[in-house]
Amino acid sequence: MVQLYNLHPFGSQQVVPCKLEPERFCGGGRDALFVAAGCKVEAFAVAGQELCQPRCAFSTLGRVLCLAYSEAGDYLAAIEEKNKAAFLRVYVNWRSKRTENCRVCIRMVGHKVEAPFSDTFRDQMSIIEMPLSEAPMCISCCPVKGDLLVGCSNKLVLFSLKYQIISEEFSILDFERSLIIHIDNIIPVEISFCVGYVALMSDLEVLIMKLESDPKSGESVNYQPHKTNNSGKQTEGISNETLQLESDDFVICQKPMELLGEKSSQSGISVTLESTGLADKNIKYYHVQHLLYKRFAPDISSLVLADDIKLHSLQLLPIYQTGSPTSDRKKLSQEKELLSLFCFFSLPHVGYLYMVVKSVELMSVYQYPEKSQQAVLTPQFLHVITSNNLQCFTVRCSAAAAREEDPYVDTTLKACPPVSMDVCALRIQLFIGLKAICHFKNHIILLTKADPEAIPERREPPKRPLSRKGTSVKLKTSPVAEAGWNLYIVDTISPVQLYKEMVDYSNTYKTARTQSCIHLLSEAHLLVRAALMDASQLEPAEKAELLEAFKESCGHLGDCYSRLDTQYSHLALPYYKMSGLSMAEVLTRADWPLEDGSQKYERGLIFYINHSLCENLDEELSEELAAKVVQMFHVAEPKQLPHILCSPSMKNINPVTAINYLSKLDTSGFSSILVTLTKAAMALKMGDLDMHRNEMKSHPEMKLVCGFILEPRLLIQQRRGQIVPTELAVHLKDTQPGLLVASVLGLQKNNKIGIEEADSFFKVLCGKDKDTIPQLLVDLWEAQLMAGLPDGLLQELFFKLTSQYIWRLSKMQPPDTTPLRTSEDLINACSHYGLIYPWVNVLISSDSLADKSYTEDLSKLQTLWWKKLLPELCHRIKCGGEKGQLYLSSLKETLSVVAVELELRDFLNVLPEDGTAAFFLPYLLYCSRKKSLT
């Protein structure tokens, strides 16, 4: 379905001051327009909205049948007819031709130019003669590399663009005939070529294939024709001889067919490759990958001539990798890299647009209200001419290319309007007597001939479906130019200007809340996105204006999806993110009262706010906006209220307001423990300790732990990338440290918090620096050991606990808070703590070790298995690192204490089996001599 809008994509219009009625014309590059008439080509300079200025003119060999311009190499290729014979010529360095009588250099393709002639070639226009064994019928230039593909009756010839080095300072453009593609059973009427992709079209057939490098291209390969298909038309049950049957009484029509991918090799069209390049390591050998074959059947029921139902306007359109506004690439290459490729071709009343990179897919079908004559595809639009109308349709190329560039574009972070969205006609502009069209940059070139009584050139009906010759729309020619023709340049307006008109137009649908508003704003979004994909052609100011329009369009689409209750309401989230709008700005835009004065909040807005608050954005809402958010969720999604209130962005919420809304909740429908904890946190925030204690006492401790697991932000929040304990966590540290440790352990076991994050949380909570370990963190480690950790984490946990015990013993440093578990608790509850060695009892019974905390640490330190942990400590010391000195100091001080208290035999038993004897020898000697000293 095609939607129709009455917008204004066409701007200024000017007349090309050519002297004779154009027979062929083409444009390209920065500002070039070429018009062929008779045996002459006129070149014009087209820049902005200024008048089209003649640049130069040059004579041709004969009447021009086909023109093609290549931006790569800045050359013009032409098929010219003289004495009923067709010739292929390429015009190089045409910009240097000042007057029509200037000398011109003519040379043969591949002809070696000697250095003495360099100055001549530098200042003169050159014409390269390109001889062919068969008459050329159509040509196409690769827009990326500048290679030239020539279509003949049963083959395609590829000329590779290269530069012939004349001297160190100078080189000239040249070609090399590198490949011949032999094709049977189809005669090309039009061809299109782009970086190895070949599309060719007959009257009712289209074939798309890709030339691929041979993996052994670096080796010397003898030519062997590679036939991709040998089967001919027998696949259809009709022999080749039958297809060649000619009769004046009937015409054989084949059935319509579409074959995608490798299945297209079954079309019956035989393709054979012949490499003709010289023995150059840069010349590659190819094989063919079939992509698409499509055949149409003539509608004989309408009794119209075959000429009226022929295909036309074959075109390959590349879109390059330039970095979209949502791309993560920081620096992009200046060299063009193909991102996606599209193929367009058309019947008189319907056009087809395919995507042909990676997979072949029909993207859009264009139904024309009138019979079309010609069409041109651009990244933004499809322009179609009928006899009296210039029509502008939207295309989906930028939407498809966005997904090629970023397959994850349709997520909660980024979005793009779908490729399947209906196309629309932006404008149908009246032009009397339209005959031909071409396009370059933002210019549309139109040939009109206002002669309503003109009789079309009469043609005999074909006896069988053969091809026509020539790539452009063929115009009736006469020896004398007839009056009433004009060649116009119509400029399309800037994307930003058309975007603004689309946005203004969309406001007519805004209050109706229909899909039409989304559709038109999506069109505006794709228009800007397509313009940004060709950002290399933009000035910095233009690009900045487009980026601003892109963000604004995302905001408008976010508004639409947030207002509508549809299955795509969730798209409000990525579009608002891409818009750069803050949550406060979105909430300010979201005030849409109904006619009766009530307020209704749709799923899209709720979805956006809910996800934004859950992502811990570094944005704090004002008290008024926070209250508005609570009121919205109370109306639309009350079960999310406890989670919403725990967001760091809701820091400024009035706790009285929050408790009022929480008290209205019916807790039967969801977890009452979460409501309880949220109310307790709010009561603490407003200083009501009695309410806080009552709420915390209403559930047993294990249920409270479950509540914290449901919403970790009751304890731990992140602001600007930093871990911040909540006011409730600080209060629990002082009043219920056991509940706090159990809750953090529960978060770890449920993958709600990482090990390093938990360590940082307790250090920040207790006001310790990164090298100081608070007792609450040791309590957590001991709880982790009791709960059981995977083997990969167990040794690390052993080492952390042992290091802390040793440090406190060596420094005679007591814990900063009372430990939650005694050594007896750990021995009874955890298998990792073994029985106490006798030598430990000796140390504990010493009068000098009367401090209870010291004896507790020593008891806990002993299984943790001294025999396993001392070697581990030694291993850490060997590995070095920033903590190496700390480990070494701890080991020395521990050994000093143990050597004093233990007997020599007991001391030997705890020493590791490996290590440097010189390190342990002083402690052994001291231990052995201490009796004699006493």
Lowest mean pLDDT segment, chosen from 215-224, 482-491, 704-713:
215-224
Residue-wise over 243-267: b if at least 16 C-beta within 10 A, else e? beeeeeeebeebeebbbbeeebbeb
pLDDT band at 469 (very low <50, low <70, confident <90, very high): very low
pLDDT at 356: 92
pLDDT at 761: 92
Tens digits of residue pLDDT in 138-152: 999 999 899 999 999
Res 327 pLDDT > 60: no
pLDDT at 822: 82
Average pLDDT over residues 56-84: 93
Cα 371 to Cα 385: distance, rounded to the nearest angstrom? 9
Res 693 pLDDT > 80: yes
Res 244 pLDDT > 70: no
Apex CA 562: angle with CA 557 and CA 564, to 5°? 95
Q: Which helix (H) or strand (E) holds 194?
A: strand 190-194
pLDDT band at 662 (very low <50, low <70, confident <90, very high): very high
pLDDT at 253: 65
pLDDT at 385: 96
Strands 286-295 and 338-346: unpaired
Higher-pLDDT residue of 620, 169: 620
Apex CA 642: angle with CA 636 and CA 648, to 5°? 105
Res 351 pLDDT > 80: yes
Lowest mean pLDDT segment, chosen from 306-310, 438-442, 585-589, 643-647:
306-310
Highest mean pLDDT among 229-233, 298-302, 395-399: 395-399
Token code pair at residue 106? 């003519």
Res 308 pLDDT > 80: no
Res 248 pLDDT > 60: no
pLDDT band at 75 (very low <50, low <70, confident <90, very high): very high
Answer whether 900's CB lies under 8 Å from 832's CB: no
Q: What is the largest CA-CA distance in the chain?
A: 133
Answer whether 21's CB lies under 8 Å from 479's CB: no
pLDDT band at 214 (very low <50, low <70, confident <90, very high): low
CA dihedral 391, 431, 138, 61 (to 10 degrees): -160
Res 628 pLDDT > 70: yes
**How much of the chain, in percent, has pLDDT values that exceed 70?**
78
- In terms of Cα–Cα distance, which of 278, 257, 276 is closest to 268? 257
Res 676 pLDDT > 90: yes
Average pLDDT over residues 126-135: 92
Higher-pLDDT residue of 165, 397: 397
Answer whether 87's CB lies under 8 Å from 79's CB: yes
- In terms of Cα–Cα distance, which of 91, 47, 48 is closest to 68? 91
Res 488 pLDDT > 50: yes
Give me the chain's average pLDDT, please.
Answer: 81
Tens digits of residue pLDDT in 697-753: 999 999 999 999 999 999 999 888 888 999 999 999 999 999 999 999 999 999 999
Does this model's pTM top 0.85? My answer is: no
pLDDT band at 801 (very low <50, low <70, confident <90, very high): confident
CA dihedral 257, 262, 263, 268 (to 10 degrees): 70
Question: What are the φ/ψ torsions at residue 838 (nearest 5 degrees)?
Answer: -60, -35
Cα 685 to Cα 650: distance, rounded to the nearest angstrom? 13
| Paired residues of 43 in beta bridges | 34, 56
Query: Which residue is associated with the tokens 């498809």?
Result: 400
Tens digits of residue pLDDT in 843-899: 455 544 446 666 777 677 667 545 555 666 666 777 777 777 777 777 777 677 677
Apex CA 69: angle with CA 63 and CA 71, to 5°? 160
Average pLDDT over residues 891-913: 70
pLDDT at 323: 57
Higher-pLDDT residue of 284, 359: 359
Tens digits of residue pLDDT in 523-539: 999 999 999 987 767 78
| Paired residues of 892 in beta bridges | none
pLDDT at 817: 87
Higher-pLDDT residue of 594, 33: 33
Angle formed by the axes of helices 672-685 and 689-697, to 10°?
160
CA distances from 647 to 89, 618, 622, 696, 708 (A): 71, 10, 13, 21, 14
Res 369 pLDDT > 70: yes
Angle formed by the axes of helices 755-765 and 737-749, to 10°?
160
Tens digits of residue pLDDT in 15-45: 999 888 999 999 887 888 999 998 999 999 9
Lowest mean pLDDT segment, chosen from 60-64, 576-580, 582-586, 822-826:
822-826
Lowest mean pLDDT segment, chosen from 122-136, 210-224, 432-446:
210-224
pLDDT at 839: 47
Chain centre distance of CA 934? 80
Higher-pLDDT residue of 672, 480: 672
pLDDT band at 357 (very low <50, low <70, confident <90, very high): confident
